Amino acid sequence: MALLKVFDPCAICLLCLVLSASELCNGGITGNFLRKEYSPDMPLDSDVFQVPPGYNAPQQIAGFLNHDRGVIISWITPDEPGSDTVLYWSENSKHKNRAEGIFVSYKFFNYTSGYIHHCAIKNLEYNTKYMYEIGIGYTIRRFWFKTPPRTGPAVPYTFGLIGDLGQTHDSNVTLTHYESNPKKGKTVLFLGDLSYSNDYPFHDNTRWDTWGRFLERNAAYQPWIWTAGNHELDFAPQLEETTPFKPYMHRYYVPYASSHSTSPLWYSIKRGSAYLIVLSSYSAYGKSTPQYKWLRDELPKVDRSTTPWLIVLMHCPIYTSNWHHFMEGETMRVV
Ligand SMILES: *[C@@H]1O[C@H](CO)[C@@H](O)[C@H](O)[C@H]1NC(C)=O
Ligand SMILES: *[C@@H]1O[C@H](CO)[C@@H](O)[C@H](O)[C@H]1NC(C)=O
């Protein structure tokens, strides 16, 4: 959450929730992993940061669940825009379908991003494995994802929960810990604080790129549900950068419009037997704000008979015993 991520309450937040209406919910103790107080960054020449070979090879692939049988695939090409196309086909079919995306880029101080592609794929089959290819025209890379089952009250589904990840040795331990969990998380609920690039001199945005490459080994194959934390603000008037959340919002797309939100920083999505609501602790949330009004209209839409679980994600806990962020969530709780 704040500058010293080592003290964050999320430091121990790697647990798997097994959502199943047929089992009693027993929170209990899900792991005994405690993060050390300090972990150094992984060196820039680490395996996890390697640039994929080939001209204009797509990198930093990440998936996001779209509403209703869809996904959003995001990736970055470094040399030129290249193709916005995703080719995809279900495991049991040979016919390649095609979806067209868009690309964006941004500048931050003296950094210029690569070509950031986002492509929504719609109308997929439930519970199906799809292969997909990107980088059409130059260096093609192939990945796969699995679509979730149809939403319903008794649908089992496994979420992982990760926050405050960064790119230290412990970040790699955390990701490996998630990947090796026998419960096999299908979607990560990410609680905010992604790359920590704002902790580097001049908010070094190349650290967004290293982070994206680090994450790809997981995020290319399963969706991550993004929540913005304080490290996503990137508000830096001293660098003449005054648009909050600029790198974050260019790099990660979420389907906010389909939940009638006016901002990618708060939105909802249904998955399995859960209704997920994402809020932004660092955007205005007082009673006259768009976020508050959206939430007020959103909560009545939660139908416990189809989605008995309501999971609300926000970066700053409303209740916390953590002294480092003491009372930081208090004003939101009061609202
Ligand atoms: C990160 O973890 C992966 C998987 O456990 C491992 O293969 C890789 O070598 C690790 N890299 C670093 C820099 O720790
Ligand atoms: C941006 O500016 C900083 C500080 O002057 C410098 O260290 C860095 O190399 C520059 N980066 C680019 C891409 O020019």
Cα-based distances in Å from 307 to 150, 157, 221, 273, 310? 11, 12, 25, 4, 7
> What is the biggest distance separating any 2 CA atoms in the chain, rounded to whole angstroms?
56
The CATH number of 54-334, from 3.60.21.10, 3.40.50.11720, 3.20.20.70, 3.10.105.10, is 3.60.21.10
CA separation for the pair 73, 75 (Å, rounded): 7
Q: Which helix (H) or strand (E) holds 255?
A: none
Contact 100, 84 (CB under 8 A): yes
Mutate to test the pocket of ligand 1, among 44, 174, 176, 217 (most ligand atoms within 8 A of CB): 176
Ligand 2 atom closest to the Cα of residue 112 is 13
Query: pLDDT of 25-80, one tens digit each?
Result: 455 676 776 767 789 999 999 999 999 999 999 999 998 877 778 999 999 999 99
CA separation for the pair 156, 273 (Å, rounded): 7
Strands 274-278, 309-313: parallel, antiparallel or unpaired by DSSP?
parallel
Q: Whose CA is nearest to atom 12 of ligand 2?
A: 110
End-to-end CA distance of the chain: 20
In this predicted model, which residue has the larger pLDDT, 217 or 26?
Answer: 217
Dist. CA 204 → ligand 2 center (Å): 8
Q: What is the pLDDT of residue 320?
A: 75
Residue 24 has pLDDT above 60, yes or no: no
Among 63, 232, 32, 66, smallest CA distance to 144 is for 63
Residues 6+ apart with CB under 8 A from 330: 318
> How is residue 330 written in tokens?
């208090």
Residue 108 CA: which ligand is closest?
2
Task: Band the pLDDT of 305: cuts 50, 70, 90.
Answer: very high
Q: What is the pLDDT of residue 143?
A: 97
Cα 3 → chain centroid:
20
List, in sequence order, every residue forming a beta bridge with 223; answer none if it has no partner.
63
Sign of CA dihedral 212, 214, 218, 221: positive
> How is residue 105 written in tokens?
């880029």
Strands 70-77, 59-66: parallel, antiparallel or unpaired by DSSP?
antiparallel
Task: Please tell me whether residue 117 adopts helix, strand or coil conformation.
Answer: strand
Residue 20 has pLDDT above 70, yes or no: no
Residue 212 has pLDDT above 90, yes or no: yes
Q: Which helix (H) or strand (E) holds 298?
A: helix 290-298
Q: What is the pLDDT of residue 26?
A: 56
Which residues are known to be catalytic?
325
Instruction: Read off the pLDDT of each residue in 84-102 and give the average, rounded to a whole number.
Output: 96
Share of the chain above pLDDT 90, in %: 80
Instruction: Read off the pLDDT of each residue in 181-201 and give the average, rounded to a whole number.
Output: 96
Dist. CA 245 → ligand 2 center (Å): 21
Q: Whose CA is nearest to atom 8 of ligand 2?
A: 110
The residues spanned by each domain of the chain are 54-334
Task: Please tell me whether residue 211 adopts helix, strand or coil conformation.
Answer: helix
